[in-house]
Amino acid sequence: MTENIVYLLREDHTPVEIIENFKRHLPDGFSLTFSSDTDSDEKRRGLITEADYIIVYGRSFGDFDVAKKAKIFQVLSAGYDRLDLDAFNKAGIPVCNNGGANAPTVAENIILFSLMLYHKVLLHHNGLQNGEWIGHVNAMSMYELRGKQIGIIGLGNIGRQVAGIAKGFQCPVVVHDVVDVPDALKKELSVQQVPLDELLATSDVVTAHVPLDASTRGMMNKDVFKKMKNSALYIAASRGPVTVEADLIAALDQGEIAGAGVDVFEDEPTATDNPLFGRENVIVTPHNAGTSVDTWTRRMEFAFANIQRVSKGEKPLAVVNGL
């Protein structure tokens, strides 16, 4: 008997090549139907009524009254803050994120941002684009990443990947997490767990990788930036509202930190006149630090494997709502 998978997607988030790839790799015994954000409510709800499994990327969900057959709600992103987990609990539907599928790509971007800022790549790139040969003028304000301490707030899938790459640059790594990191993991990653204030005061690069919830919303604020080194870099690549954008801008303006890499914003898409734009000590990207062909392949593989697991009566992986 064929089981039905419905993929709820935002058309502006999902290239057509990705959709075709999902179709090509659909496991035997399953059908796959796509519902874009331009579909009518009637069409979408009709598809959900028949869905044994639901995959979603970039969309919220509220059709619990017709999702009676759904055995799993598989999110292709790491974050799930758009979703009402209490409502899923009441409906008895496990919600699963992507199990770290995008973690390697995000981690590479954390290191990329740090390298670009330390080597003033934007300054020199823009100079040449504008016909100016800057040469070695900025030599005394350019640094290697090698040997700099990296402070990771939240040692989840992405944080662990950042720590692993940092080892290759011979960077000491300190971490802060709300739970005790197992000694075996600390040894494997060569990291030290420290209080947040110590991490902020001693790290050359600070990067936060926490889910967005009531406890983390606005956690990277003016008080945090004041505790960082004046020479430190801050990298934001989790969820925009984790960082108080106005406080980050003020910290940069006042020289409380030396630079920032910002992939996520409080409001997305962010305003075209965002004060973070146009600065040579700030790298900005449009919430795509976790995007690559490799990431999309892993998202797909994880989603289908999780669905097959549930189909065989096994518990899914990466459940975020406790079911």
**Which tens digits make up the pLDDT trace of 149-159?**
999 999 999 99
CA 4 to chain centre: 29
Alpha carbon separation from 108 to 44, 101, 159, 166 (Å, rounded): 37, 13, 11, 10
Is residue 217 within 8 A of residue 191, CB to CB? The reply is: no
Catalytic residues: 239, 268, 287
Residues 5-30: tens digit of each pLDDT: 999 998 888 889 999 999 999 999 99
Q: Write the single-letter amino acid at 73.
A: F
CA 222 to chain centre: 22
C-beta contacts of 19-22 below 8 A and 24+ residues apart = 21/296, 21/297, 21/300, 22/300
> Mean of the pLDDT values across residues 244-272?
98
Neighbour order of strands in the sheet with 53-57: 30-36, 3-9, 53-57, 73-75, 95-96
Domains of the chain from N-terminus onward: 3-101+292-311 (3.40.50.720), 103-284 (3.40.50.720)
Alpha carbon separation from 226 to 126, 248, 257, 258 (Å, rounded): 30, 10, 8, 12
> Mean of the pLDDT values across residues 164-181?
97
Whose CA is closest to 238, among 201, 204, 265, 267? 265
Model confidence at 275, pLDDT cuts 50, 70, 90, reads: very high
Residue 95: predicted pLDDT: 98
Partner residues linked to 60 by β-bridges:
none
Residue 86 has pLDDT above 90, yes or no: yes
Question: Rounded to an integer, what distance in angstroms lies between the CA atom of residue 322 and that of residue 96?
Answer: 10
Task: Tell me the average pLDDT of the chain.
Answer: 96
CA angle 53, 54, 59 (to 5 degrees): 175
Model confidence at 212, pLDDT cuts 50, 70, 90, reads: very high
Residue 11: predicted pLDDT: 82
* Residue linked to tokens 């057509």: 16
